[in-house]
Chains A and B, each alone.
Chain A
């Protein structure tokens, strides 16, 4: 790809260096230069892929780390078998792969379940702003992060309910066609369609009550 002019060369340096934070003069140039606009689009797409690549599947990494080489195959086989047994038939379905990733993510932040102190509203708003999502379930939020998940920042909350803590992940970029109930590693959850995206809700104490799940879905907007 040719830079064409000194302005283009400068724009591409900025785009390649920090594609999400372009100075105004570079943004103005991109608005009038089709080649640089294409370069920006390509770079943003590359960055999305880069983010996914950098998010190594740590659960696997942690289980395999420091295992002697001779044990690795057996460990991998036992993990695969455990996943098959725990997940049942649904592990072969794309939506269930999403459910599994949600479970793995939630398990990586296992301390989130034990939070009891209310998160300030401003902090919740900041998390939603970071992820570009709206959510108002009128439930007390005791944990929240805009977590990296499948190449996007995803609001990950724990809310207090009468049935115990419930994890909510607002997946604006993950479309699911229908409600999927899953159970894995002691967690009970559901993936629910929500407009163009979806919502994952999980509980440790039992199945997610239907009214709670519906409340969460209706509170999410993107």
Chain B
């Protein structure tokens, strides 16, 4: 939130900013990785990279999307670098985590499970849009896709979740 006169964040405010946003980063990483340990590793890598690049952050109000973008890239990089096996949707550790339950709200728990089981190509843009607040144009640029492709993936993601929510799915698009 604090900004020096020249528009670059000073170290102490930057640290506080990171601390405040860390829960958001962890949550975002968990939905991408579907594995708590991997999510925490991704956030650690993100914070290191963000710290090294902190001079790039000219406007603290843009910190959240900036950091979330780093999380997404670090997540992708982690899989490239370590060649981690793709998470088996039938054995998603987080599905059994009590944190996914919500005050006995079975519908919410089911919805979280359904989101976890969405294929990566649908879950990633959905999480970026709904949780990250990214526009379809920004998602397209980040994922190196066309905007119509992103729209279609988001449509299909929601269409799958409509069923869990008790709604009739729309006819699929070509």
Contacts and interface: CB of A to CB of B under 8 A. Distances in A.
A117 interface: yes
Interface size band for B: 35 or more
Contact of B27 (A58, A72, A142): A58
Main secondary structure, interface of A, reads: helix
Nearest to B154: A17
A51 B97 contact: no
Given A3-B171, A53-B111, A62-B26, A46 B1 contact: no
A17 B108 contact: no
Given A53-B108, A55-B27, A115-B1, A47 B173 contact: no
Interface in B116-174: 126-127, 129-131, 135-136, 150-156, 158-159, 161-162, 165, 167-171, 173
A204 to B, nearest CB: 16
Interface size band for A: 35 or more
Contacts of B158: 16-17, 19, 43, 46-47, 50
Contacts, number: 137
A51 B127 CA distance: 9
Interface stretch (B30-38, B46-54, B78-86): B30-38
Contacts of A64: 97-99
Contacts of B170: 1, 3, 12, 16, 39
Interface string A53-84: 11111101110111000001000100000000
A93 to B, nearest CB: 13
B130 to A, nearest CB: 5
A60 B99 CA distance: 6
Interface in B23-66: 23, 26-27, 30-31, 36-37, 40, 61
A119 interface: yes
B111 A108 contact: no
A61 B30 CA distance: 10
Contacts of B99: 56-58, 60-61, 64
A51 B131 contact: yes
Contacts of A3: 170-171
B115 interface: yes
6 nearest A-B pairs in the assembled complex, by CB-CB distance: A17-B151, A16-B155, A111-B16, A61-B99, A17-B154, A54-B131
